[in-house]
Structure 1
Amino acid sequence: MTTSTLVPSPLLPSVTVSAVPAASTHAGTRVKHPRILSIAGSDPSGGAGIQADIKSISAHGGYAMAAITALTAQNTQGVVGIHVPPVSFLTSQLDAVAADITLDAVKIGMLGNAEVMKAVGDWLARVAPAVVVLDPVMIATSGDALVEDGTRQALLDLLKVTHLVTPNLPELAVLLNLPEATSWSVALEQGKALAAEHGVMVLVKGGHLPGPQCPDALVGPDGAVNEFEGARINTANTHGTGCSLSSAVATLQAQTGDWVESVHRAKLWLAGALEAAEALQVGSGAGPINHLHALWGSAAPADQTFSSELWADCAPQRAAIFDLDFIQELAAGTLHPSHFAYYLAQDAQYLTTYSRVLARASSLAPTEAEQKFWAGGAQNCIDVELGLHRDWLSKYPLESPQGPVTKHYVDHLQAVAFGGSYGEVVAAVLPCYWLYAEVGRLLHADYLGFEGEHPYGTWLATYADEDFARATQQAISFTDAAARRGSPLERLKMREAFAYSAQYEVDFFAAPHLLVEGLAGASRD
C-alpha cells in the first residue's frame, strides 16, 4: 500500500508533500504565456463557468479561449434556466480553435448531458492536448443541478483522456457511486480509489468538510499523495471556486510542468481571491471570488506567493548552476585544487561585504525579530563562515585579488543596501541563503553516496548544517513579510534585486574555471 509522508519541499517553503510519480505527471510544455481553452458553460453573472475561467486564466498570465457547452440563466442566488446548444455546433467551435491555434492546455467544466460529454471526449482523443484538467461540474454553489441524470458513465469515460480531475466531495461520491465523505481520511481513500480505477490524477478538495482547515490533496494513480494545508477563509463569496481553481491549475501546469507546484500556487492564489472577494460587493447570494485581486494596487501577495514566484523565476539560474563544471567536479571529487582555492579566496572576500549588508538589513528591519535575525547572520559570517574559510585557505593557499565577478556582486549588494528599501535589501541577500542551501542540499546528498574518501568531504559535510537550513527558511519568511508590507513598486524592485543576485550566484560558481588560468598565467609572467 502506498502511503504519504510529509516532508519539507525544497522548492516551496511552506508546503508539505510526498512525491507524485514522474510517470503520472503528464508534464506540460512549460510555456510562459500558455494558450488555454476552456470548454464549459456560460454564467451571465460572471462568477462561474466560462467567465470565471477567463478571469482565472488571465490572472495567471495565460491567453484564455472558450468553447461554450451551455447557456445558463443564473445569478449569485441560483440557476433558473439552462439551454444546451446543438452538439454539432460545440464540435464546430472546438475544431475551429484547434485548426488555427496551438493549445497548451484544456480545462473542462460544465457538460450538460452525455451527448456533449461524448463529443468532447472524441475531440480530446483526436487532438490530445498536453494538459487536460476536468472539473466534473454537476452541482452549482447554490445547490442547483447542472447536468442531466444518467450522465455518470459518460463522465467517467472522459477520464480516459484526462490528466487531472478536480471533483468536490459530492462530485467525488457520485463518480464512485458512494456516499459523500464526511471526513478527510475517507475523502482521501475515495480519491485513491478513483485515481487507481481510472489511471488519472485526482485533486481531492476538503472544502465541504467542517472545521477551520481546508486541506487539498493531489493523488496519483498508484496512491501516492501530496497534501496541501490551508486555513478556511471565512467568506460567503464562494461562487465559482471550483471552476476558478481548476482553470488556474491548468494554466500553471502549462507553465511549470509540475503538478505539485501548480496546485500549490493555485491554492495560494485562490486563498487570496477569497480573502479579497468582499471588496467586489456583487449580488445578494454567494458572491464571486476576486479573480484579479493581485492586479489591484492595494493588493499584497498572500502567504508564500511572493517567494514561490521568486523561486520559479530563478529556475534558469538554478539549472545553470548545476550544469557548471565547478559544481559537478566538486560533487565528483575531481575539482582541481586551484579552482577550489580561488573559490575559497573569493568567497572569503565576498562574505566580508555580505556581513555588512546583513547588518544594514538589521538596521532597517521593522520588527525586533527581524533585527535580531539579520544581526545574527552578520555575526555568523564573521565568526563562523570566515573562520571556516581561513582554515581551508591554509590548506589551499592562493594569492587572489578580488575578482571581477566578486566585485560586481558586492557592488550590487552595497548599492541596494545603502540605496534601497528594507524589502529590496532582504530580496538581494536571499539568493545567497536559498541557492547556496539548494546547492548544498544536493551536493551533500552526492557526498553521502560517494565511495571512498572524498577530497572535499569535510567541506561538503558542512552543507548539511541544520541551523543554516532553518535560517534559510526564516530569510524566506521575512522576505515574504516585506513583500506583503511593500507597495507594488517596491515588490517590483525586490524582484529585480533578487534576480540580479541569483544571476551573480551563477557567475560566482562559474568564475573559478573562467579566471584561474588567467591568474596562473599572470603570476608566471
Structure 2
Amino acid sequence: MASSSNSAVYPVGIGAVPARPHPRVLSIAGSDPSGGAGIQADLKSIAAHGGYGMAAITALTAQNTLGVSAVHVPPVEFLRQQLDAISSDIDIDAVKIGMLGDAAVIDEVRSWLEEVRPAVVVLDPVMVATSGDRLLHETAEASLRSLLPLADLITPNLPELAMLLGEPEAPDWATALDQGKRLAAECGTTVLLKGGHLAGNDCPDALVNTSGLLRQDVIEVPGTRVDTRNSHGTGCSLSSALATVQARTDDWEASLREVKPWLLQALATADGLKVGKGSGPVHHFHHLEPALNPAGKSGDFAARLWAEAVPELEAIYGLAFIQGLQSGRLPEPQFNYYLAQDAIYLNGYSRVLARAGALAPTEEEQLFWAKSSQLCLEVESELHRDWLSTRPASTETGPMTRSYVDHLLATSASGSYAVLLAAILPCYWLYAEVGQQLHAAYVQAGAPSDHPYAAWLKTYADEEFAAATRKAIDFTDAAAAGASAQERKAMVEAFAQSCRYETAFFDAPRLFA
C-alpha cells in the first residue's frame, strides 16, 4: 500500500542535457586502501547512482579508519598519461576531482581540464581529512585556488571553505553562508556549503551562486544530523554522487535533493558495516538491502517474520504490474484501478492503525500509530485524489481490497496488540522493500523524466516511510518478546496472511481493471 509520509516530490531529469542511463564519470583523486574515502568511495558512489566509474590516481595513501600515516605522490607525468589514456578513448560525462596533493599535480589537472573541457566538473577541495590530517601541502593552496574557476561546483567543508578564503572557520551557519557567497562571486561558480561541522542537530546544506545560474542566489536544503562516528569519506561520496546525478539532470538543485537523502541513509546505516576501529565508512549500497532494518538491529522474531515475507516478495517482483510500473509501460487503466483501490484500502487501514494505538502499551507507540492513522487519511488520500481527479477509475470496492481489509479488521477485533501489529506490518515492510527496489531500478535506468509514474516511484522510496517501517518492526519485535508461545504462533499466521494479501493486491489490477 502507499507510504505514509508528507515529504515533497521533486522533479528529476529536468534540464537541457538529455538523460544518460549510465553517465561516464571520471574520478581524479587519491587512493584509500581501506576503501572508505578517495577513489574507492567515489567509484562506489558513482555505481550507487547508476554511473560508470573511472579513476585516475593522483596520490597513494597509507590510511585506515584511524587516520593517514603516509602519502606518496607518483610522478605527475604518469598522472597525465592516465588522464590522456581515458579521454582519448572514452567520452566523459562528468569529472569529480578530489585529493590533488601538491602544486605540480594541480597544474597538470588544470592543463588537462582546459584541453578536454568536460561538461560537468565537481571539485571537492580535499585539504584536511576527517581525522584532522592535512592532505594538501600549504604551498599548493594558491594553485588550488587557481583551479576553482574551472569547476561547475565546489564542495568544501567549513574548514576548507575558510582555508580557501584565508579566514577563520565559520562558527555558525550565517557566517558560512556569507563566506560561501564571497567564494562563489570570486570564482564565478556554484558552491555547495555543507553544515556537517556545525554544532547541534541540524545539518543543512546550501547551493550558492551569485551569477544567476540558480533560481535564487542561495538554495538551502535542510537536514538532520545522523548520530554516528562512521563518516569516513562522506565528502568524497557526496561530491562524486552529485557529479553522477548532475550528468543526467543538468540541475544542481534537483541533483542535491536526490543525493542528500541517499547520503543521510548511508550515514544512518553505516554502523552496520562494522569496518575498522575508528571513523568507519558510510554504507553506499544501503538501498540494495532489505528494508527490514538497515542497521541490522532487528530481533530474532523479526528475522522469523522476514523468512515468511521472502517468498511473497519474489512473487511480487514477478508480477506484470510491478514490472510494468518499474519500466513505465504499465497501462494507465491498471494504475488508476490500483490507486482507486489503494484509497479505499487506506480508509480501512487507518481505522486498524487507530485500533493499534488504542491497544498500545506505551505513549510512544500510541502516538506513532495515531500519527500513522492520520497520515493515511490526510496525505495519501490527497495524493490519490490528485491523480484520480482527472482520470477515470471505479470507486467500487474490489474483492481483493475487501478481503484484505476484512482480514485486518477481524484481527484488530481479537484484542491482541501483538497479533494486530504482525498483521499490520507487511503493509509497511513489504511495501518499503518493493519501493526501494523500484526506485533503485528507476535510478539505475537514468531516472528518465518521461517515465509516467516517476513521481510515484520517488514516493515509494521515501526515507520517512523507511524510518517508520523500522519503528514498526521494532514495536512488533518488542510485542513478540512479551507474548505467549500461542500468541507468537498467531502473529506468524497473521503476518503470513497479510503478506499473501499484499501480493494479491498488486496483482489485482491485472485481473479486475
The two structures have a TM-score, normalised by structure 1, of 0.61
CA-based RMSD: 4.9
Partners of 1:413 and 1:142 lie apart in 2 by 56
Larger radius of gyration: 1
* Residue 221 of structure 2, aligned match among 217, 221, 228: 228
Q: 1:127-276 residue pairs with structure 2 within 5 A? A: 127-222=116-211, 224-276=217-269
The residue number in structure 2 matching 1:94 is: 83
The residue number in structure 1 matching 2:47 is: 58
Partners of 2:504 and 2:239 lie apart in 1 by 31
Partners of 1:129 and 1:98 lie apart in 2 by 10
Unaligned runs of 5+ in 1: 1-11, 20-24, 303-312, 322-346, 390-402, 431-472, 502-507, 509-525
> Could you tell which deviates more after superposition, 352-361 or 75-84?
352-361
Partners of 2:380 and 2:59 lie apart in 1 by 61
Say if 2:286 and 2:294, in contact at 8 Å, map to a contact too.
Answer: no
Partners of 2:506 and 2:181 lie apart in 1 by 40
Q: Using a 3 Å threshold, how does the CA distance of structure 1 residues 416 and 202 change in structure 2: closer, same or farther?
A: farther
**Cα drift, residue 160 of structure 1:** 2.2
Partners of 1:163 and 1:359 lie apart in 2 by 48
State whether structure 2 residue 321 is matched by structure 1 residue 362. no
Partners of 1:378 and 1:52 lie apart in 2 by 37
Q: 1:76-475 residue pairs with structure 2 within 5 A? A: 76-222=65-211, 224-297=217-290, 356-362=344-350, 365=353, 367-374=369-376, 406=393, 422-423=427-428
Q: Partner of 1:112: helix, strand, or coil?
A: coil
Partners of 1:296 and 1:375 lie apart in 2 by 30
**Cα drift, residue 411 of structure 1:** 7.2
Say if 2:344 and 2:397, in contact at 8 Å, map to a contact too.
Answer: no
Partners of 1:271 and 1:149 lie apart in 2 by 32
Which structure has more RCO (C-alpha within 8 Å, separation ≥ 6)?
2
Partners of 1:354 and 1:16 lie apart in 2 by 19
Q: Deviations over 1:237-293 (max 9, x none)?
A: 222111111111112222333211221232222222222222222222222222222
Partners of 1:237 and 1:104 lie apart in 2 by 31
Paired AA for residue 268 in structure 1: P
Q: Deviations over 1:315-360 (max 9, x none)?
A: 998xxx9xxxxxxxxxxxxxxxxxxxxxxxxx9x999867634434
Partners of 2:177 and 2:6 lie apart in 1 by 24
Q: Percent of counterpart pairs with the same letter? A: 48
Partners of 1:379 and 1:283 lie apart in 2 by 46
The two structures have a TM-score, normalised by structure 2, of 0.62
Partners of 1:193 and 1:500 lie apart in 2 by 57
Q: Deviations over 1:98-129 (max 9, x none)?
A: 12222221110000111111211121222222
State whether structure 2 residue 37 is matched by structure 1 residue 48. yes
The residue number in structure 2 matching 1:31 is: 20
Q: Partner of 1:251: helix, strand, or coil?
A: helix
Q: Using a 3 Å threshold, how does the CA distance of structure 1 residues 292 and 31 change in structure 2: closer, same or farther?
A: same
Say if 2:126 and 2:160, in contact at 8 Å, map to a contact too.
Answer: yes
The number of residues matched between the two structures is 386
Paired AA for residue 79 in structure 1: V
**Cα drift, residue 221 of structure 1:** 2.8
